[in-house]
Structure 1
Amino acid sequence: MIEMRRYLHRHPELSYQEHETADFIQKKLREYGIPYRSEIAGTGILGIIKGKHEGRTVALRADMDALPIQEENDHSYVSVHEGVMHACGHDAHMAMLLGAAKILKNLQDEIYGTVLLVFQPAEEKSPVGGAIPMMEAGVFEDFMPDVIYAQHVWPYLPAGQIGIRDREMLGASDNFKVILKGVGGHASLPHLTTDPVVTAGFLIVSLQTIVSRSLDPRHPSVLTIGSIHGGTAHNVIGNTVTLEGSIRTFGEDTRKRIKERFYEITTNVAEMYNNEVEIDYQEGYPATVNTPRWARLARRSAQNLFGKDATPMIEPAMASEDFSRFLEKIPGAYIFLGAQMENSEEQKGLHDPRFNINEEVLPMGAAFLAKVAIDTLNELKENTIRIWID
C-alpha cells in the first residue's frame, strides 16, 4: 500500500483528468481478480466483490483527484506534474481501498452479500463534483447499496485514531463572487465618484453581522471573504471591486437564512453608495451528515480492531465533501482516520503544499474498511433474519 500510495502521489491528476490514475486502479483490480466497471462519469470505477453467500450490499468509496497546488516537499515521491499535487490525501484513500479490496477478495467465501468499491473522480470540483455524475451515469444500476462508507486521512488526529460522529461531520460549502461597479476618478476628487472601494469596505464589515446578529449562535456557521481586488494605482479611484468568499454551515435552515441575508445586505449596501452590483452565488456540497446507526457500527468496528481508546470524541469540521451527495441518497457514515506525522510539529494541514501523512496508518485504514464492510453485511443479514422471524 505504501508503494501504491507513493506511485499515485507521484502521478497526481486534476478532476476529470484521472486517466492514468484510473488505469492504475484497473490494473490492480485485475491483479486481484476483482471484476469492475470503468469510465463511469468519465474516469470513475466500480469494483464488485460478490460474497459466496447471499446477502445485502455495502459500498466503500475513495476519491481520485488531486489539487492545483505546486508541491514543496523534498521526499523521494514528489509529484512529477508541475502545479498538481495530492495535498488532500486522496492518494492514500485509493491505496487503502485497494488494500481493503485485496483483504475482502481473500475473504470472499466468508462474505454474506456484495461489497462495492467506488473510486470517484472530481471530489475537489465543487459545486459539481463527481458523486452526482456517477449516480446519474448509473454506478448503482445493478447493485444499489444499503449502506455506504468513506474515510479521510485526518492530519489533526494522532496516527491510527478513528474519528466518528453520529451525525454532523462536515459542513455545507457555498461560494460567492460580488462585483461592485461605481464611478471612478482622481483620488483628489472623491466627490465626483461613487468609490466602490469604500463600498466594499462597508460591505465586508456588514456581511460579518450575518453570523453574529442574524443567526442562532447555537448553530455554527462561517462567512469568509477570501479575495478582494480593486484599483490600479495609489492616486486612482477604480471603477470596480471584486470580492470572493466562502460560506460554511451545517443546518439547512441556517444555510438558507445566510443566503437571504447575504443578498439583502449586499444589494442594500451597493444601493446606499450608488454602486451597481453583480452577485454570483453558488451552492456547493451539502453538509456531510452520518446516519447514527451506521456511525455507531463503524465505531464498534474500530474499537474491535484497535481498542476502545481508538475512537476519541471529536468536533465536526467546517470543511466540505462531495460524499455528502451519496449520503443524501444512501444511509452511511464518513470517518476520519488519524494520520498525523510522528513529529506533530512537522505536520502540515490539508491543501498545504507541504502536506504529508504518516504512512503507518495505511494498513490500519485498509483493515478498518474491510472490517466495517463485513460487520455491516453481517448486521444487515441479522436484521433480515429478525424480520423473517417476526
Structure 2
Amino acid sequence: MRLILKGEGEKLAQEIIQLRRLFHQFPEVSGEENETSKKIQQKLDEYQIPYTTGYAATGVLGVIEGSLPGKTVAIRADMDALPITEETDLPFVSKIDGKMHACGHDAHVAMLLGAARLLNNVKGQLHGKVLLVFQPSEEITPIGGAGPMMDDQVFADHTPDVIFAQHVWPDLPVGQIGVRPGPMMGASDRFKVEIEGAGGHASMPHQTVDAIIVANTVISNLQTIVSRNVNPVDSTVLTIGRIEGGYRYNVVADKVTFEGTIRTFKNETKEMVKDRFFSIVRGVTESMGAKATIEYYDGYPATVNDEKWAQRVKDTVQELLGANSTPVVEPCLGGEDFSRFLLKYPGAYFWLGTAMPGVEKQKPLHDPKFMLNEEAIPLGMEVMAQIALDTLYELKAKDNTFHTKPLLKKVANYK
C-alpha cells in the first residue's frame, strides 16, 4: 500500500511559516549563504536527519534512508536572496539593507525542511532514499550553484534516479500547480558590448566616429534577429537592459557600453541567435569605422522537464489538491539553475501558486514589493514530500507502471 500525506502539511504550517519568516528577515545573496546554511544544518540536526556540507561552499545535502530497499529521489531548494532593497510593510521585513528574498527562496528552503520532516516521520515505511538538496547561488548566472555542487561531488555517495524542484509562482492562485512536459524555463545568456569610436567636438562630427550612432545602429540591427532570423514559432527574446556613453551635450562620444540578455528554449535557436549576434555587432561596427569588444556569457540552459516525471507531478498534485489543480501553463523564458541538474538526471520542475488574495495585479518575482501567500507553504511541503514518495513507489514497481488509484494508507499518529 502506498503512503499518502494529504493534510499532514497543515500540522506543521505554523512552524514552517515562522521558519520562512526567519529566513526572510536575514537574507543572504549568492555566495554568502553562511548563516542560512547553518540554520538548515541546525534544523536537520533537530530532525535527526544526517547530512553533509561544503558543496559550492555553503550547500547542504540531507539524506533520509528508508527502511525498505528501493531507488533514490532528490528534491531541491535554492537558498540565496537578491541585492534588492525591500519595499514591503511586512512585520518580518528584511533586516539587511539592500538584500531581500524577492524570489521566494526563503519559502523554498522552509518548505523543503517541512517536507523533510514529513518524510523522515515515515522512513520506516519508505522504499528507498530521499536526498534533500539545499543549493546556494541560484541567482548568480552564468556560474550558479548547481554545477559547482556537482563539481564538488554532491551525488558521489548517493546518486538520484530522479530529481524535482518547485518555485513559488505569483501568477497562479494558492492550490494550483503549474507543470508541463518539455521546456519549462528558458536558456538565459547575457552579453556586454563596448563600442569604441573616435570622439571630438559636436560642431565637427566629420572628424569623429560617433560611438552613440554606431551603438544605435548595432542595437537596431540586433532586433532583426528575432523578427527575421528566428522561426516565428520558436520563442526568443533579445533585450538591451543597460546603455551608457558620452560626456556632455557638445562632445561626440568615443565609447558606448551596452548590456543585455538573450532567452531561448531550443539549443539550436540559441546557437543561431548567438552566431547572428556576433556577426551583426562586428559587421556593423567595422562598416562604420568603429571597433567592438564583446563579452558573451553562456548562461543557464533551458529547464526541460522529462515527460514521464512531469506527469508524475501532475498525477500526485491532482490526487492531493483536486482535478482542477494543474491548469495548462505556458513555459517562461526566465532562467533557472535547476536546468543543470536536469541535464544529468531525469526529473521535473514545477510552479507552486502563491498569489496574494484580493490583489488584481500581483507583484512579480524580483520586485522590491514582492510578497507571497503563506497559505501555500503547507501545500508546498506536502506536494514535495508526496511526489518523492510516489516516485519511489513508481520506481520500485516491477513493471515500472504506476497505478493511478492504488490502495492508500493514511499516516497515523503523526507527531
The question of 1:24 aligning with 2:39 is answered yes
Q: Matched residues, percent identical?
A: 54
Q: CA deviation at 1:383?
A: 4.1
CA deviation map 1:333-367 (0-9, x unaligned): 00000100002236210000111100000000000
Pair 1:6–1:16, CA change in 2 (3 A): same
Q: Is the 2:136–2:145 Cα contact (8 Å) retained in structure 1?
A: yes
The question of 1:49 aligning with 2:84 is answered no
CA deviation map 1:304-347 (0-9, x unaligned): 00001000000000101000000000000000001000022362
1:369 corresponds in structure 2 to 384
Query: What secondary structure does 2:297 align onto?
Result: strand
2:3 corresponds in structure 1 to none
Query: What secondary structure does 1:371 align onto?
Result: helix
Query: What secondary structure does 1:310 align onto?
Result: coil
1:268 corresponds in structure 2 to 283
- CA distance in 1 between partners of 2:302 and 2:384 (Å): 22
- CA distance in 1 between partners of 2:299 and 2:193 (Å): 17
What is the aligned length?
Answer: 386
2:181 corresponds in structure 1 to 166
Q: CA deviation at 1:52?
A: 1.0
Q: CA deviation at 1:380?
A: 0.1
The question of 1:215 aligning with 2:230 is answered yes
2:7 corresponds in structure 1 to none
Query: What secondary structure does 1:28 align onto?
Result: helix
2:358 corresponds in structure 1 to 343
The question of 1:181 aligning with 2:196 is answered yes
- CA distance in 2 between partners of 1:216 and 1:260 (Å): 15
CA deviation map 1:285-316 (0-9, x unaligned): 00000000000011000000000100000000
Amino acid paired to 2:379: M
Where does structure 2 lack aligned partners over 5 or more consecutive residues?
A: 1-15, 402-415
**Structure with greater proportional helix content:** 1
Amino acid paired to 2:238: L
1:119 corresponds in structure 2 to 134
- CA distance in 2 between partners of 1:19 and 1:372 (Å): 29
Q: CA RMSD in A?
A: 1.0
Q: Is the 2:394–2:400 Cα contact (8 Å) retained in structure 1?
A: no
2:411 corresponds in structure 1 to none
2:150 corresponds in structure 1 to 135
- CA distance in 2 between partners of 1:259 and 1:41 (Å): 29
Query: What secondary structure does 1:309 align onto?
Result: coil
Where does structure 1 lack aligned partners over 5 or more consecutive residues?
A: none
2:372 corresponds in structure 1 to 357
- CA distance in 1 between partners of 2:399 and 2:35 (Å): 41
Amino acid paired to 1:88: C
TM-score (norm 2): 0.92
CA deviation map 1:1-51 (0-9, x unaligned): 110100000010011110100111011111111111112220000000011
TM-score (norm 1): 0.98
1:6 alignment partner, one of 21, 29, 32 = 21
- CA distance in 1 between partners of 2:190 and 2:398 (Å): 42
2:257 alignment partner, one of 235, 242, 245 = 242
1:329 alignment partner, one of 344, 349, 361 = 344
Q: Which moved more, 1:339-348 or 1:181-190?
A: 339-348
Pair 1:198–1:44, CA change in 2 (3 A): same
- CA distance in 2 between partners of 1:295 and 1:22 (Å): 29
Q: CA deviation at 1:232?
A: 1.4
Query: What secondary structure does 1:283 align onto?
Result: strand
2:304 corresponds in structure 1 to 289
CA deviation map 1:160-213 (0-9, x unaligned): 210001111000000000000000111111111010100111111100000110
Amino acid paired to 1:133: P
Amino acid paired to 1:199: V
Q: Is the 2:78–2:105 Cα contact (8 Å) retained in structure 1?
A: yes
Amino acid paired to 1:188: S
- CA distance in 2 between partners of 1:114 and 1:261 (Å): 47
Query: What secondary structure does 2:74 align onto?
Result: strand
2:114 corresponds in structure 1 to 99
